[in-house]
Amino acid sequence: MLKKNMAVYPGSYDPLTNGHIDIIERGLKIFDKIVVAVLKNPAKTYLFNLKERCGILNDVFKSNDKIEIVHFEGLLVDFVKERGITTIVRGLRAISDFEIEFQMALMNRKIEPRIETIFFVPSESYSFLSSKLVKEIYLLGGEVPSMLPAIVDRKLKERFRRP
């Protein structure tokens, strides 16, 4: 049976930021349940391993039964189909996201025409926020706690050995 009231929100979440949370909250205005799918791509190098990335998400959303945290390897459309879900959620920050997201959405549709991709636009205060930039800031000794869940701020400081 196809679950039309559910969507999969895939990503690296390396680490989770308030931008991701913003997208999840917007998604829940439309869907009853969001499955946050944490990607393990053997070709990618992550700062936080899969267990750590999922652990952060589980900690942040532990009391919310509308959010399920899972991990997956392989083709996204296969994972989405296996779950009987037909919608993929992604976030669109700026024009720079558009080209790659457009390409991915069309390719996923080519592979599985029954799956639709829906884009949510975050609050403008998160429109310039990315996991990559956050990691660079903490690596260089800076911090942006207002853009992150407290656990992520703490883990980034631990990772780069700061009090």
Binding site for ligand ADP (CB under 6 A): 11-13, 17, 19-20, 23, 90-91, 93, 97, 122, 126, 129-131
Rounded to an integer, what distance in angstroms lies between the CA atom of residue 61 and that of residue 76? 22
Q: What is the DSSP letter of 35?
A: E
Annotation marks residue 90 as catalytic: no
How far apart are CB 163 and ligand ADP at their closest, in Å? 27
Given the residues 53, 90, 131, 135, the one annotated as active site: 131
Annotation marks residue 130 as catalytic: no
Nearer to ligand ADP, 139 or 162 (CB): 139
- Under 8 Å between Cβ of 11 and 35: no
Annotation marks residue 44 as catalytic: yes
Q: What sign does the dihedral 124-31-71-97 (CA atoms) show?
A: negative
Nearer to ligand ADP, 73 or 162 (CB): 73
How far apart are CB 158 and ligand ADP at their closest, in Å? 20
- Return the residue nearest ligand ADP (CB atom): 19
Annotation marks residue 26 as catalytic: no
Rounded to an integer, what distance in angstroms lies between the CA atom of residue 20 and that of residue 98? 16
Given the residues 20, 26, 90, 155, the one annotated as active site: 20
Amino acid letter, 14: D
Nearer to ligand ADP, 39 or 162 (CB): 39
Mutual angle of helices 150-159 and 50-60, in 10-degree steps: 150
How far apart are CB 1 and ligand ADP at their closest, in Å? 27
Nearer to ligand ADP, 122 or 149 (CB): 122
Which tokens belong to 162? Answer: 């700061």
How far apart are CB 130 and ligand ADP at their closest, in Å? 5
Rounded to an integer, what distance in angstroms lies between the CA atom of residue 137 and that of residue 120? 26
Rounded to an integer, what distance in angstroms lies between the CA atom of residue 74 and that of residue 59? 25
Which residues does the annotation mark as catalytic?
Answer: 20, 44, 93, 131
